Structure 1
Amino acid sequence: MSIPFQKYHGTGNDFLIIHADEHVPDRGALAERECDRTVGVGADGILFLAPEEKFNPPRVVMTLFQPDGATAPMCGNGARCAAEWTMDRTGADSVMIDTQAGTLRADRDGENVVIEMTPLTFVPDEVPVMADEPVLKAEIEGLEVSVVNTGVPHAVSFVDNVDNVDLEAIAPPVRHADAFPDGTNVTVASPDGSGGFRQRTYERGVEGETDSCGTGAVAVAVVARRLGLTDADPVDVHPPGGHLRVSFNDRGRPTLAGPVEHEFDGEVAVEPPVEP
């Protein structure tokens, strides 16, 4: 049996979107198979979306399964893709997204989808990270990092040039460090010469570098402000896949803005093929 999906991406961070009403016996196994870029469709995750269009603005419940088959409570670009999918269905320019990390509002702004992110925290128990006080500059597994939760944990390291970083070598030891009970994403950033930052992120659950990471972009912006590396608002962040903009609204919460594209539609089998 096959079920339909739509594929969306936000600055290269790509997702298969499946209506939550579709019967999938094992969502984690489906994500492991179809996110694989060799044997599956290829994606950074699968979003199962349950629209609740009776509300104004419309609401959608988002559940993200990552390529390792586990769920993640929050994904900035995933939430923006979920918002675009809901806007495409309803014609609305604003939607509410219920995630495991809280309820978020997203709005269309020209070519961009802007989402209000979850409240951020440097509090060690809430990241979580094994520390007695906020980790603003500490060496973990040989990398100097600042640690923040922007919906998911991030260890952020500022370097001279992100292109010179062997992310696949330096990130896994930090991602799996004993200091992080739940693991962490690992993000490196460097000044772009125009007041913003370039970004690369090794994502927990993907277990590799992605073209873009929305929670990572927010982490770069908030840590840069906390360390006094910028006082800009908005903060422009450039992952490999494009341009994101992080602002801070009148409630003190970060917002993430960037383009979203609907790539194509297709079908996937809900069960793996039978071996001959």
Structure 2
Amino acid sequence: MKTTNFTKMQGLGNDFIVLHGHDRLPEDAGALALRLCDRHFGVGADGLVFVLPSERADYTMRIINSDGTEAEQCGNAIRCAAKYIHDKGLVEQGRSHLTIETIGAGVQPVVLTFEEGRVTAVRVDMGEPVLGGLAVPTTVDAEKIVEYPLTVDGRELRFTAVSMGNPHCVIFVDDAPGEDLYAWGPKLETHELFPRKTNVEFVTVRSRGHADMRVWERGAGPTLACGTGACATLVAGVLNGVLDREAAVSLKGGDLLIEWNEEDNRVYMTGPAEFVFEGSF
């Protein structure tokens, strides 16, 4: 019976099963993610990450959500993939600059920080935010969607739409940690305004340099952290005039430092990635 080795990793508690050794994404990747990501009968994870060959970058990352659907991009997963690629010796040791290709953002430059030869933090060029309503995508044909009205079950909300290679619905509220994600997340994810569904972020601004965020991830539900969601949060905060272009975004699993650079219009994310354990199936 053939066995496959895996590595369990996490970035601020957003956890992944990382696989390397395939030439391409397996046809049964969705079914495999459903089985392995199950927290009762499988390994347990928010997603399944494949580290694959690339013709344009050092490696390609493909991520399958725990519900079997594919995500275009994932900020916490790409940090985990970068640490995996370096610490597993897939590139020369001590190399601080890598490139990783994703289907949502193309080739993404990554900068590694080391302690005692191991990666402790990863800074990722997350690319330029997409703000056009139809491109995010939403069903609203507008150059930008900022504080757009949305009603769910009688609750009136306003959202800002941002794509970081995947769609985000950012909603500023008085108490983000107190929001009932299970009540509102599924309804917002599948709202008719979002033809490809959406990630949902509830955000409370604490200062111009700090925001609290809680996330319902498309295809995964509530997670402890979402890197692209933190990036979308900062962009939305700038568009709404409540955050500076560099700020800390606090998630349930910890903090990410996000910068939306005014000169190149690109968003940069810095945060940790850690190994949890290894195994085989």
Q: TM-score, normalised by structure 1?
A: 0.90
Contact 2:13–2:253 (CA under 8 A) maintained in structure 1: yes
Unaligned runs of 5+ in 1: 269-276
> Take 1:236 and 1:244, find their aligned partners in 2: how far apart are those partners?
6
1:167-246 → structure 2 map (5 Å cutoff) = 167-192=181-206, 195-206=209-220, 208-231=221-244, 233-246=245-258
Partner amino acid, structure 2, of 1:135? I
Partner amino acid, structure 1, of 2:171? S
> Take 1:165 and 1:132, find their aligned partners in 2: how far apart are those partners?
29
> Take 1:137 and 1:202, find their aligned partners in 2: how far apart are those partners?
19
SS where residue 126 of structure 1 aligns? coil
Identity across aligned pairs (percent)?
34
2:134 maps to which of 121, 125, 140? 125
1:107-126 → structure 2 map (5 Å cutoff) = 107-110=111-114, 111-126=120-135
Partner amino acid, structure 1, of 2:240? L
SS where residue 128 of structure 1 aligns? coil
Counterpart of 1:163 in structure 2 is: 177
Partner amino acid, structure 2, of 1:33? R
Unaligned runs of 5+ in 2: 115-119
> Take 2:236 and 2:207, find their aligned partners in 1: how far apart are those partners?
18
Contact 2:138–2:194 (CA under 8 A) maintained in structure 1: yes
> Take 1:200 and 1:73, find their aligned partners in 2: how far apart are those partners?
20
1:2-151 → structure 2 map (5 Å cutoff) = 2-21=3-22, 26-51=28-53, 59-88=58-87, 89=89, 90=91, 91=93, 92-101=95-104, 102-110=106-114, 111-133=120-142, 134-140=144-150, 141=152, 142=155, 143-151=157-165
Structure 1 residue 223 displacement after superposition: 0.4
> Take 1:42 and 1:223, find their aligned partners in 2: how far apart are those partners?
32
Matching of residue 247 in structure 1 with residue 259 in structure 2: yes
Give aligned pairs, total.
Answer: 263
> Take 2:135 and 2:21, find their aligned partners in 1: how far apart are those partners?
29
Structure 1 residue 25 displacement after superposition: 5.5
Q: TM-score, normalised by structure 2?
A: 0.88
Contact 1:97–1:105 (CA under 8 A) maintained in structure 2: yes
Structure 1 residue 139 displacement after superposition: 2.5
Contact 2:177–2:213 (CA under 8 A) maintained in structure 1: no
Cα deviation code 1:115-156 (max 9, x no counterpart): 000321110121010112122112222332111111110000
Structure 1 residue 20 displacement after superposition: 4.1
> Take 2:18 and 2:255, find their aligned partners in 1: how far apart are those partners?
22
Structure 1 residue 5 displacement after superposition: 0.5
SS where residue 127 of structure 2 aligns? coil
Between 1:168-177 and 1:191-200, the stretch displaced more is: 191-200
> Take 1:107 and 1:266, find their aligned partners in 2: how far apart are those partners?
28
Aligned-CA RMSD value: 1.9
SS where residue 82 of structure 1 aligns? helix
Contact 1:6–1:266 (CA under 8 A) maintained in structure 2: yes
> Take 1:214 and 1:5, find their aligned partners in 2: how far apart are those partners?
22
